[in-house]
Chain A
Amino acid sequence: MSSPSKDPLAPARPNWMSNPRVRALIFQALVLAAVFALLGYIFHNTVSNLEQRGITTGFGFLDREAGFGIIQSLIPYTPASTYGRTFLVGLVNTLLVSALGIVLATLLGLIIGIARLSKNWLIARLAAIYIETFRNIPLLLQVLFWYFAVLQALPSPRQSLSIGEWAFLNIRGVYLPEPVPGQGFGWVVLALAIAVALVIWLRRWAHRRQLRTGQPFHTIYVSAGLLLGLPAVVFLFLGMPLTWSLPSLHGFNFTGGITMIPELTALLVALTIYTASSIAEIVRSGILAVSHGQTEAAYSLGLNPGNTTRLVVLPQALRVIVPPLTSQYLNLVKNSSLATAIGYPDLVNVFAGTTLNQTGQAVVIIGMTMGVYLTLSLLISLFMNWYNQRVALIER
């Protein structure tokens, strides 16, 4: 009666047709087959279309000479560089604007979020207006607005706004002096590194001492002294081996110094302002999620407002804040691709734009571009998850 199996008491197995495990396997095999078929179909179409139209594929083009200029590059680049190089230039520019954006948006968002909760009615109102205005207008519109309506109203280089002979602001960008290290400047850097190490050690020591004796040791002044003093002494001793390259008007443009082009400025300003409005809301709800009783309990223990925020409110608020903050960071990185609308040379603009157009390698280039963004997203998610686990897991 029972099917021959090792365990006589095992429940009978249905025939494979109605066995849900088998069914699940078959179903999954079918789904997988369908997905592969679809991918294969697309792949086949693409290959045959490419072939028929005589478009070459592969990564060979990356070694060819690009032949066009890029206005901003943090790594050496000339029109004689390769297309592969343009990829790197774009990538670095994307990373630059994303990193700056994340830092600035977090700071601004934190400030606005706290201002939103201020007891000062006017400040709270202004913060609310800020939030509601900027997060309800499309980012692209804001990017265009800052670039075409605001920054392009700045004066020409000849009529630059300036701070002495040091800093200039005009439609071509912000110009700041650039430090040029001279002979032996390495020693100053070394001194600074030593000072940093000393400060870290000092803080550890002060912490230990506080744990041991309860005596706090205010490291601020000593730290500041170390950080400024040590390098300064070495610097003076070596005869000030540092010159400044000042921006100055030569011919058409300012040369020398550090330049921040208006495309970067506009993109950064828009990304920061837009993302900060979301971050502010996140910060606010995070802080509100910590009940009022917590603050009261901390106050009645004698903690001052600063310590209450630092030791009681923030650690609890952070757990609420970090996950949505992560997705805001991801959004910011993806949104940095709007650079293409105003000509900031990011990855999409330089590589998926100009390079794609010069070479016609749509499939490879779009694939590489998407791959970069996917990787970035993944890395940020991983990092933030790790961080979140650190702040979240303390509870249990």
Chain B
Amino acid sequence: AGAAHAGATFDAVKKKGYVQCGVSTGLPGFSNADDKGQWKGMDVDVCRAVAAAMFGDASKVRYTPLTAKERFTALQSGEIDILSRNTTWTLTRDTSLGINFAGVNYYDGQGFMVKKSLGVKSAKDLNGATVCVQAGTTTELNLADYFRSQHMQFKPVTFDTSDATVKAFDAGRCDVLTSDQSQLYALRILLANPAGAEVLPEIISKEPLGPSVRQGDDEWFNLVKWSLFAMLDAENLGITSKNVDTLKTDSKNPSIQRFLGVNGGMGKLMGVSDEWAYDIVKQVGNYSESFDRNVGKDSPLKIRRGLNALWNEGGIQYAPPIR
């Protein structure tokens, strides 16, 4: 049906020439600024992928650091075009906040971290504990739910930023730090003595984290959704930033050809260049590259793929095909 009719956000982004991306104020591995002020992390990569798809240039992103409290208002108000900030996909958020989740870039679950010296081995032993938690998160709600369901008492100490939360936990203000497990690992390296803390085995919630956009602009929604899928599909197809150029010229695999825009005109359907997926892989890398670089084996966090492995490798990451 030719080029899709583009919606308001899509047009606005195209016109201003960059993607305004809401990220966290600092969560190692997902989004934080290094000492040169460059933003890095898995959530950041999503935004870069979108920019690569849209403009063919992954650097055309501007970042707005947001606290958990600010994030939805910022998206609703149009201050940002896309919220990519370890945000859990839930029903109420989809319905009453007027936003749409474009997919899941990290399957997570809420866990607990304690100091080893406390001698706690299970979350069930936490009755009466003081818990540090970040304000305005689903974590805060799950925490209350969990303790209620276990008939246990707790005292929540809430902070605006994960940084303050960690500092308080480190100082001993609370016994337990709760957050999504991925974050727990990320935050652990910020402790004075990372080895002195451990993450408890219980996972008390499902936390599918993903980027979200405002409702009412399906074109933009599609672009974000498929930028994310493209990274997963690239991994599935074995396309990496290293081999993408050779594959583009050499590969006879029709899926790869379609993916890289050699044929198929997939980009046109979304209102962007046909090389959109090529640009993503070339400039941002595929999902596993992003994962390993930011949180996985090549990072200080050293998180295993686990649930986030592709479906055919024992995980549940699964992207619809590009065709």
Whether chain A touches chain B in the assembled complex (some CB pair under 8 Å): yes
Per-residue interface assignment for chain B, residues 208 to 231, with 1 indicating a CB less than 8 Å from any chain A CB and 0 otherwise: 000000111000000000000000
**A71 proximal to B (CB < 8 A):** yes
**A354 proximal to B (CB < 8 A):** yes
Quick one: closest B residue to A159, CB to CB? B172
Quick one: closest B residue to A46, CB to CB? B77
Contact status B69-A357, CB under 8 Å: yes
Stretch of B28-36, B56-64, B124-132 contacting A (4+ beta carbons < 8 Å): B124-132
Quick one: closest A residue to B174, CB to CB? A172
Contact status B69-A356, CB under 8 Å: yes
Most B CB contacts (10 A, CB to CB) among A49, A55, A342 go to A55
Contact status A253-B164, CB under 8 Å: no
**A341 proximal to B (CB < 8 A):** yes
Quick one: closest B residue to A52, CB to CB? B216
A53, A68, A250: the one contacting B140 at CB < 8 Å is A68
Q: How far is the CB of B270 from chain A (nearest CB, A)?
A: 23
A71, A171, A356: the one contacting B158 at CB < 8 Å is A71
Stretch of B103-111, B141-149, B260-268, B288-296 contacting A (4+ beta carbons < 8 Å): B141-149
**A349 proximal to B (CB < 8 A):** yes
Contact status A156-B172, CB under 8 Å: yes
Enumerate chain B residues within 8 angstroms of A80, measured Cβ to Cβ.
148
In the bound complex, how far is the Cα of B136 from the Cα of A152, in angstroms?
Answer: 23
B118, B144, B167: the one contacting A69 at CB < 8 Å is B144
A67, A252, A342: the one contacting B128 at CB < 8 Å is A252
**A315 proximal to B (CB < 8 A):** no
Task: Contacts A56-B96, A67-B141, A152-B171 given; indicate if A353 touches B148 (C-beta within 8 A).
Answer: no
Enumerate chain B residues within 8 angstroms of A340, measured Cβ to Cβ.
160
**A371 proximal to B (CB < 8 A):** no
Quick one: closest B residue to A365, CB to CB? B73
Contact status A262-B173, CB under 8 Å: yes
Contact status A54-B98, CB under 8 Å: yes
Q: How far is the CB of A342 from chain B (nearest CB, A)?
A: 8
Contact status A341-B160, CB under 8 Å: yes
Contact status A343-B159, CB under 8 Å: yes
Contact status B157-A53, CB under 8 Å: no
In the bound complex, how far is the Cα of B69 from the Cα of A152, in angstroms?
Answer: 25
Enumerate chain A residues within 8 angstroms of B118, measured Cβ to Cβ.
252
Q: Which of B139-186 contact A (CB under 8 A)?
A: 140-141, 143-145, 147-148, 154-160, 164, 167-168, 171-173, 175
**B97 proximal to A (CB < 8 A):** yes
Enumerate chain B residues within 8 angstroms of A255, measured Cβ to Cβ.
128
Quick one: closest A residue to B95, CB to CB? A54
Contact status B76-A71, CB under 8 Å: no
Contact status B144-A252, CB under 8 Å: no
Quick one: closest B residue to A357, CB to CB? B136
Q: How far is the CB of B131 from chain A (nearest CB, A)?
A: 8
**B135 proximal to A (CB < 8 A):** yes
B97, B141, B157: the one contacting A55 at CB < 8 Å is B97
Q: Which of A329-356 contact B (CB under 8 A)?
A: 340-343, 345, 349, 353-354, 356
**B72 proximal to A (CB < 8 A):** yes
B126, B129, B136: the one contacting A353 at CB < 8 Å is B136
Contact status A71-B98, CB under 8 Å: no
Quick one: closest B residue to A345, CB to CB? B158
In the bound complex, how far is the Cα of B126 from the Cα of A353, in angstroms?
Answer: 27
Quick one: closest A residue to B171, CB to CB? A152
Enumerate chain B residues within 8 angstroms of A362, measured Cβ to Cβ.
73, 76-77
Per-residue interface assignment for chain A, residues 157 to 196, with 1 indicating a CB less than 8 Å from any chain B CB and 0 otherwise: 0000000000000011000000000000000000000000
Per-residue interface assignment for chain B, residues 229 to 267, with 1 indicating a CB less than 8 Å from any chain A CB and 0 otherwise: 000000000000000000000000000000000000000
**A25 proximal to B (CB < 8 A):** no
In the bound complex, how far is the Cα of B129 from the Cα of A332, in angstroms?
Answer: 33
Enumerate chain A residues within 8 angstroms of B156, measured Cβ to Cβ.
68-71
Enumerate chain B residues within 8 angstroms of A153, measured Cβ to Cβ.
171
**A148 proximal to B (CB < 8 A):** yes
Task: Contacts A70-B156, A152-B173, A362-B76 given; indicate if A53 touches B168 (C-beta within 8 A).
Answer: no
In the bound complex, how far is the Cα of B157 from the Cα of A196, in angstroms?
Answer: 41
Quick one: closest A residue to B165, CB to CB? A343
**A216 proximal to B (CB < 8 A):** no
**B194 proximal to A (CB < 8 A):** no
Contact status B76-A53, CB under 8 Å: yes
**B78 proximal to A (CB < 8 A):** yes
In the bound complex, how far is the Cα of B128 from the Cα of A340, in angstroms?
Answer: 24
**B68 proximal to A (CB < 8 A):** yes
Contact status A171-B144, CB under 8 Å: no
In the bound complex, how far is the Cα of B280 from the Cα of A389, in angstroms?
Answer: 72
Contact status A68-B144, CB under 8 Å: yes
Q: Which of A1-34 contact B (CB under 8 A)?
A: none
In the bound complex, how far is the Cα of B127 from the Cα of A50, in angstroms?
Answer: 42
Q: How far is the CB of A322 from chain B (nearest CB, A)?
A: 37
Enumerate chain B residues within 8 angstroms of A356, measured Cβ to Cβ.
69, 73, 136
In the bound complex, how far is the Cα of B168 from the Cα of A148, in angstroms?
Answer: 8
In the bound complex, how far is the Cα of B158 from the Cα of A354, in angstroms?
Answer: 9
Q: How far is the CB of A237 from chain B (nearest CB, A)?
A: 39
Contact status A55-B160, CB under 8 Å: no
In the bound complex, how far is the Cα of B234 from the Cα of A104, in angstroms?
Answer: 64
**A225 proximal to B (CB < 8 A):** no
**A251 proximal to B (CB < 8 A):** yes
B71, B157, B175: the one contacting A343 at CB < 8 Å is B157
Q: Which of A233-266 contact B (CB under 8 A)?
A: 250-253, 255, 262-263
Contact status B128-A79, CB under 8 Å: no
Contact status A250-B128, CB under 8 Å: yes
Contact status A253-B128, CB under 8 Å: yes
Contact status A252-B141, CB under 8 Å: no
Contact status B215-A54, CB under 8 Å: yes
Enumerate chain A residues within 8 angstroms of B137, measured Cβ to Cβ.
357
In the bound complex, how far is the Cα of B144 from the Cα of A55, in angstroms?
Answer: 26
Q: How far is the CB of B228 from chain A (nearest CB, A)?
A: 22
B70, B144, B167: the one contacting A67 at CB < 8 Å is B144
Enumerate chain B residues within 8 angstroms of A171, measured Cβ to Cβ.
171-173
Contacts A342-B164, A343-B168, A353-B69 known; 14 new A-B pairs at CB < 8 A: A54-B216, A67-B141, A68-B143, A68-B156, A69-B144, A71-B155, A79-B145, A152-B173, A172-B130, A250-B128, A252-B128, A343-B159, A353-B135, A354-B140
- 13 CB-based A-B contacts, threshold 8 Å: A54-B98, A55-B97, A67-B145, A68-B143, A69-B144, A152-B167, A172-B130, A252-B118, A252-B126, A353-B136, A357-B70, A357-B73, A362-B77
